[in-house]
Structure 1
Amino acid sequence: MIYWWRRSLAAQLIGFTLLALVVSQALTFMISWDERTKALHAAMKGEFFSRCASMTRLMESMPVPLREQALLASETSYSRFWLSKEEPIDANAWRGRAATELTRPIENFIDLGRKYGLRSNSVTERLSFSEVTTANASENWVTPPLVLWSLPRPAKFVYFDDHNGYGLTIKLNDGVWLNTAFYKNISDGWWDSKSLTSLAITALILSLIGIFIASRIARPLRRLAVSAEALGRGENLPPLPEEGPDDIKRTAEAFNKMQQRLHRFVDDRTRMLAAIGHDLRTPLTSLRLRAEFVKDADVQQKMLATIDELQGMTEAAISFARGESTTEETRAIELEALVGSICDDLADLGLPVEYIEGPKTTYRCRPDGLRRAVRNLAENAVRYGGHAKIYICHSSAAIDIIIEDNGPGIPEDMKEKVFVPFFRLETSRNRDTGGVGLGLSIARAVARQHGGDILLQPNNPGLKAIISLPQEGHVQASSRASRRKRRSPKLAEQES
């Protein structure tokens, strides 16, 4: 439950909506319940006194033998009538008699609520004799106010069962006392089955509306997240649809503009680098021609060596710029087969490369760029360590292509500098041993274009270069894993 609450926009929206519903219903109940209860009691009390006045007139206008039958015919599920010859003095005793009368079944009364399984109108099961006699035990008879009782007849009023019941005894013109008891409990009438059903239906409707709104919000956000992740891996994406509410529309427009600016920036940078490299060819050629006229052979040789180095760096820069500006489509490949073919190619050239095959992995990438990065790191491992071991490792966040060697490694303070273009740890000027210093720069650029990076870690002894690719590009993987080594003929000879 906590997982869905933290990760699901729909769950949070529904949760807050239902919380707002419950809080609003509770506040409404707290504000209106007291006034509602008072209004209901006032209405019932007014009706009670009106009915008592009518019964008083009726009793005084009809023969005495018919009074009992008239009282029985006038009783309701909430009221009872009886006559007494003596004046009721003890209020608690009268309350006990009222409880007995109210629980007495009414003749010819049909309780449809009980018949159809609904809420019963009878007070028989809800009225307790002990509660009636103790709830208002300290209250005695009172004279009703004139606004409620205007007949010129002596009358006494009393409450019972915590003011849910009313009692009135009236002295008729012949000295007989008419007793009237009324009871209706309204304190538990708020959270009944109807209220709960209404609340449940409202909550269900709000939940469905919340799911619809959350999906309308989350769908473009998910599309934006997928596009941003793909853009971070260097994929060429079509523009996002600029539709929906203004906030979502502006977000899609901003993303499309950002994507255009990034592509324009990369294109401008690569074109500028290619132009600079191309323009350097003319002065280098002019320097080479002038060096031919230098008479000192030693100085001439040094000048030509420097020019050759500059020429190599220029050609490497142009090649790097062309590789950057070339647009390669992203597609799904077998990553294990790609790395294995690189190792096979290097082994065919006689390089001591060992590949440990792992589980098959289908990955979305730009194969040529990734091939170039792996090949550069493998050649560096062979050049400086004499041997390269390559394998693929899976983790929860990344897929790592690991290249290990047993060479001298790289000092800790140099691990970032080696990625700077044209920087070389090898201090000689021999390009056959040290290159021009673009291999690691190209490899890191390729890894970052895929949304990953290159990490350099100690191998004890040697160096471990890791091309870390994000799991988002992983399409599928088979559970079959084998441990197979491919060795070059040169490596086989060394082991034998």
Structure 2
Amino acid sequence: MKLRFFDSLRGQLVLLILGALIVAQAISLWLFVDERGLAVRAALGSEAAGRAANVARLIEEAPPELQDSILRAADSPLVRFDITAQPTVDHVNHKDGGSVEGRMRALLGPDDDREIRIELHEAEGDLMPMAHMPASDGTMHLRMMQGALSTIEMTLSVALQDGRWLNVDTRFHRPPLQWPVISTLSFGITAAIILMVVFWFLLNRLTGPLRKVATATEKFGRGEAGKPLPLIGPREVRDLTWTFNAMQNRLTRHMADRTRVLAALGHDLRSPLTALRVHAELVDEDEIRESLISSIEEMQEMVETTLAYARGMATSEEPQIVNIREFLEKLQNDMLGAFEIETSERVTLRLRPNAIRRALRNLIENALRYGGDATVSVEHQKTDLLIRIADDGPGIPEADLERVFEPFFRLEESRSRNTGGTGLGLSIARMIVRAHGGDVVLENREGQGLLATVVLPLGCDADADRG
């Protein structure tokens, strides 16, 4: 059921919308974290620059015996101060430190032109406590902060008035990728609202009309005449519905015209044939009279079968849902047990009972006439119902298995004129079954005999129960 849902237009659109929302949220989160990281780095850099400038001024103004105490007081787990004869940053040209240097010079005063060197680089390995910090306190603090965080190290070397250098080592942590609860709630509410709107739109404006067109097409393919569908939904769906209505109207009108022509032709031929029969009865010579009467009777039979063919093309009978097993048993009783039924299937199918009864009767009578017996079996295969009629006759040459469905075609060798028939039985049977959206297929059985298979689509109204 789940796979069937995602195979539908609604399911695929739901996946597409959810995927787009997730990608948009991920991009937004990434941009947000990056912006937040830049803001945190700028704030920490500004703080480190302010502390470095203040410590530099304090060192220069304090007595020498207090300088070590000042450095120890200024140290923290992530910032370390040290005074050396040579600067830790050994190059003058530095990048990405303009804002830090500007902050320091603003604190040191506009007339202060001392040299300030800054270096930024990615930290490698685990962070360790800075110098002058107790191992327990520093380690605990760092373990709480680092986790999976990436770190940037900034080193400042600030020239002092006495020629020494104040070196400052500090570390910035990039904020980790986080998904706050409020963001998750916001995403869920947004997705729910969008999906509800999409479902409403799809159900009422898109997939609803499309399902109606699909259902009407299936019914029309089974020969069921339907009313024109209402033109609702988007313009493309309305155009599709209008085209289907026009096609259904043209085909229905064409089939009705064809049926009326055949029926009128067969009906109009009855009168002259009756007159010929009367005139033939007046012929004195017995041989000529019998020959004329035989020819006229054959023509009358052809007219009757033509009318039957025309009636078979008509689709005025209303479809009904029937139980196939009971349907075949009733047909067997009507034909006085002329055939055997071998099936355990219990399938209900929507069809026009009289038309299908006529098609099956034609196929069974053919099997009885040319094969001597008939066995009917039923098999349910996924979306189709197969009704097989088997006989033990001589079969049909492979080259003629399709030609026998042509109107008035009769085999001269295996199915003689003398055995009866006008060559319309199979044509009528196939026409009726095809009007239901199925087909009739003939094949020779292994050894001897013919197998006629009636394929009927189960459709959405069918129900199968094996047992």
Cα 1:64–1:223 shift into 2, 3 Å: farther
Q: Which amino acid aligns with 1:279?
A: D
Distance in 1 between residues matched to 2:5 and 2:308, nearest whole Å: 51
Instruction: Write out per-residue CA displacement over residues 180-224 of structure 1, whole angstroms, 9 at most, x where no aligned residue.
Output: 4442123x64x3334995699279457677666665644433333
What's the secondary structure of 1:423's corresponding residue?
Answer: coil
Cα distance between partner residues in 2 of 1:285 and 1:254: 47
Partner residue of 1:332 out of 299, 305, 321: 321
1:470 pairs with 2:430: no
> Does the 8 Å contact 1:278/1:318 carry over to 2?
yes
Matches within 5 A, 1:60-459: 80=79, 82=81, 86-89=83-86, 91=88, 140=90, 142=92, 149=105, 152=112, 154-159=114-119, 162=122, 164-172=152-160, 179-186=167-174, 189=176, 191-194=177-180, 201=187, 204=191, 217-291=206-280, 296-325=285-314, 327-347=316-336, 351=338, 353-425=339-411, 433-459=419-445
Range that drifts further, 7-16 or 453-462 = 7-16
Distance across 1 between alignment mates of 2:206 and 2:17: 16
For the residues of structure 2 that align with 1:140 and 1:195, how far apart are their CA atoms? 47
State the 1:315 CA deviation. Answer: 2.0
Most deviating of 285-294 and 244-253: 285-294
SS at match of 1:406: coil
1:291-332 Cα distance to aligned partner (Å, 9 max, x none): 456555433432332222112211221233234335111111
Shift of 1:16: 4.4
TM-score (normalised: structure 1): 0.70
Does the residue aligned with 1:237 lie in a helix, a strand or coil? coil
- Alignment counterpart, residue 448 of structure 2, candidates 448, 461, 467: 461
* Partner Cα separation in structure 1 for residue 70 and residue 39 of structure 2: 31
* Alpha-carbon distance in 1 for matches of 2:344, 2:244: 38
Q: Secondary structure at the match of 1:375?
A: helix
Mark the CA change 1:54 to 1:428 in structure 2 (over 3 Å): closer, same or farther.
closer
Question: Residue 280 of structure 1: SS of its match in structure 2?
Answer: helix
Mapped contact 1:141–1:156 kept (Cα < 8 A): no
- Residue 393 of structure 1: how far off its partner (Å): 1.9
Secondary structure of the residue aligned to 1:238 is coil
1:77, 1:330 → 2: CA distance? 86
Secondary structure at the aligned position of 1:193 is classed as coil
User: Shift of the alpha carbon at 1:338?
Assistant: 0.9
Question: Residues 70, 151 of structure 1: CA spacing in aligned structure 2 closer, same or farther, 3 A cutoff?
Answer: farther
SS in 2 for 1:244: coil
1: distance between equivalents of 2:237 and 2:9?
15
Contact 1:288–1:307 (CA under 8 A) maintained in structure 2: yes
Number of aligned residue pairs: 425
Letter in 2 for 1:466: T
Task: Kindly provide the amino acid, as one letter, of the partner of residue 297 in structure 2.
Answer: D
> Residues 285 and 47 (structure 1 numbering): CA distance in 2 closer, same or farther, change over 3 Å?
same
- CA drift of 1:48 comes to 4.7
Which shows bigger deviation, 12-21 or 442-451? 12-21
The one-letter amino acid paired with 1:373 is A
What residue ranges of structure 1 are gaps of 5+ in the alignment?
A: 92-138, 481-496
Change (3 A) 1:427 1:174: closer
Shift of 1:397: 3.7
1:239 is displaced (CA, Å) by: 3.1
Scaled by the length of structure 2, the TM-score of the pair is 0.74
State the distance in 1 between where 2:198 and 2:90 align: 57
User: Does the 8 A contact of 1:373 with 1:443 survive in 2?
Assistant: yes
**Matching residue's letter, 2:387:** I
Q: Are the aligned partners of 1:155 and 1:168 in contact in 2 as well (CA < 8 Å)?
A: no
Q: What is the CA–CA distance in structure 2 between the aligned matches of 1:74 and 1:251, rounded to whole Å? A: 78
Q: CA deviation at 1:365?
A: 0.9
Partner of 2:126: none
Q: CA deviation at 1:471?
A: 2.7
Query: Conserved in 2, the CA contact under 8 Å of 1:428 and 1:434?
Result: no
Is the partner of 2:459 in helix, strand or coil? helix
| Structure 2, unpaired ranges of 5+ | 124-151
- How many angstroms does 1:360 deviate by? 2.0
Give, in angstroms, the shift of residue 155 of structure 1.
4.1
Aligned residues: CA RMSD: 4.4
Q: How far apart are the structure 2 equivalents of 1:143 and 1:470? A: 82
User: Secondary structure of the equivalent of 1:347?
Assistant: coil
3-state SS of paired residue (1:478) = strand
Which whole-Å CA distance do the structure 1 matches of 2:69 and 2:22 have between them? 51
Q: How big is each residue's C-alpha offset from its partner over 1:54-108, in whole Å with a ceiling of 9 and x where there is no partner?
A: 5655666789999999989988996x475x6x535363xxxxxxxxxxxxxxxxx
- Mapped partners of 1:430, 1:175: distance in 2: 127
Q: What CA deviation, in whole Å up to 9, does each residue of 1:415-449 have, x standing for no partner? A: 11211112222579997722222211111111111
Read off the aligned partner of 1:299 and give its amino acid letter. I
Contact in 2 for aligned 1:153/1:172 (Cα 8 Å): no
Residues 75 and 228 of structure 1: CA distance in aligned 2, closer, same or farther (over 3 Å): farther
- Cα distance, 1:38 vs structure 2: 7.8
Shift of 1:374: 1.2
